[in-house]
Amino acid sequence: MAVESCELASGLRVVTDAMPGLETASLGVFVAAGSRNESEAEQGLSHLLEHMAFKGTRRRDARAIAEAIESAGGDLNAATGVESTAYYARVLREDCGLALDVLADILTDSLFDPGELEREKEVILQEIAALQDTPDELVMDLFNAAAFPGQPIGRAILGAPERVRGFDRAAIEAYLQRHYGPRSVVVAAAGAVEHERIRDEAARLFSDLPPAPPVAAQAANYVGGEALVAKKLEQTQVVIGFEGRAFADPQNYAAHLFANAVGGGMASPLFQEVREKRGLAYSIATFHWPFLDTGLFGVEAATSGRQTRELVEVSLACLAGAAHALDESDLARAKAQTKVGLLTALESSSARAEQIARQTMIFGRVLTREEMIGKIDALSLEEVRAAGAAMLRSAPTVAILGAARKAPGAADVSALLAGV
Query: Residue 4 to residues 188, 194, 361: CA-CA distances in angstroms?
Result: 10, 9, 15
Q: Which of 320, 314, 250, 319 is nearest to 287 (CA)?
A: 319
- Listed in sequence order, the DSSP H helices in 248-393 are 252-263, 269-271, 308-325, 328-344, 349-363, 369-378, 381-392
As a whole number of angstroms, the distance between CA 249 and CA 100 comes to 34
As a whole number of angstroms, the distance between CA 66 and CA 55 comes to 10
Residue 176 falls within a domain, yes or no? yes
CB 233 within 8 A of CB 372: no
Residues 6+ apart with CB under 8 A from 21: none
CATH of the domain at 155: 3.30.830.10
Residue 220 falls within a domain, yes or no? no
Residue 218 falls within a domain, yes or no? no
| Same-domain pairing of 180 and 231 | no
CB atoms within 10 A of CB 277: 10
Q: How many residues does the chain have?
A: 420
| Same-domain pairing of 155 and 252 | no
Q: Which domain holds residue 54?
A: 3-205
As a whole number of angstroms, the distance between CA 263 and CA 283 comes to 10
DSSP-derived 3-state class of residue 123 = helix
Residues 6+ apart with CB under 8 A from 159: 43, 44, 45, 47, 48, 124, 128
Residue 217 falls within a domain, yes or no? no
| Same-domain pairing of 50 and 109 | yes
| Same-domain pairing of 240 and 197 | no
Number of H helices, E strands in the chain: 16, 11
Tell me, what's the pLDDT at 1? 61
Buried b (16+ CB within 10 A) or exposed e, 285-309: bbbbbbbbbbbbbbbbbbbebebbe
| Same-domain pairing of 168 and 65 | yes
What are the pLDDT digits (tens) for 82-139? 999 999 999 999 999 999 999 999 999 999 999 999 999 999 999 999 999 999 999 9
Residues 6+ apart with CB under 8 A from 345: 351, 352, 354, 355
The residues of the chain scoring below 70 in pLDDT are 1
| Same-domain pairing of 197 and 276 | no
DSSP-derived 3-state class of residue 175 = helix
Residue 214 falls within a domain, yes or no? no
The last residue of a domain, from among 205, 236, 268 = 205
- Phi then psi for residue 278, to 5 deg, are -115, -15
| Same-domain pairing of 97 and 243 | no
Query: Residue 3 to residues 6, 178, 190, 229, 350: CA-CA distances in angstroms?
Result: 10, 30, 9, 48, 15
CB atoms within 10 A of CB 98: 18
Residue 213 falls within a domain, yes or no? no
Tell me, what's the pLDDT at 346? 86
**Number of domains within the chain:** 2
| Same-domain pairing of 198 and 232 | no
Cα 77 to the chain's mean position, in Å? Answer: 16
Cα 398 to the chain's mean position, in Å? Answer: 20
| Same-domain pairing of 399 and 268 | yes
| Same-domain pairing of 341 and 383 | yes
Catalytic residue among 38, 42, 50, 201: 50
Residue 233 falls within a domain, yes or no? yes
Residue 153 falls within a domain, yes or no? yes
Amino acid at 303: T
| Same-domain pairing of 145 and 8 | yes
| 70 among known catalytic residues | no
The last residue of a domain, from among 158, 176, 205 = 205
| Same-domain pairing of 190 and 238 | no
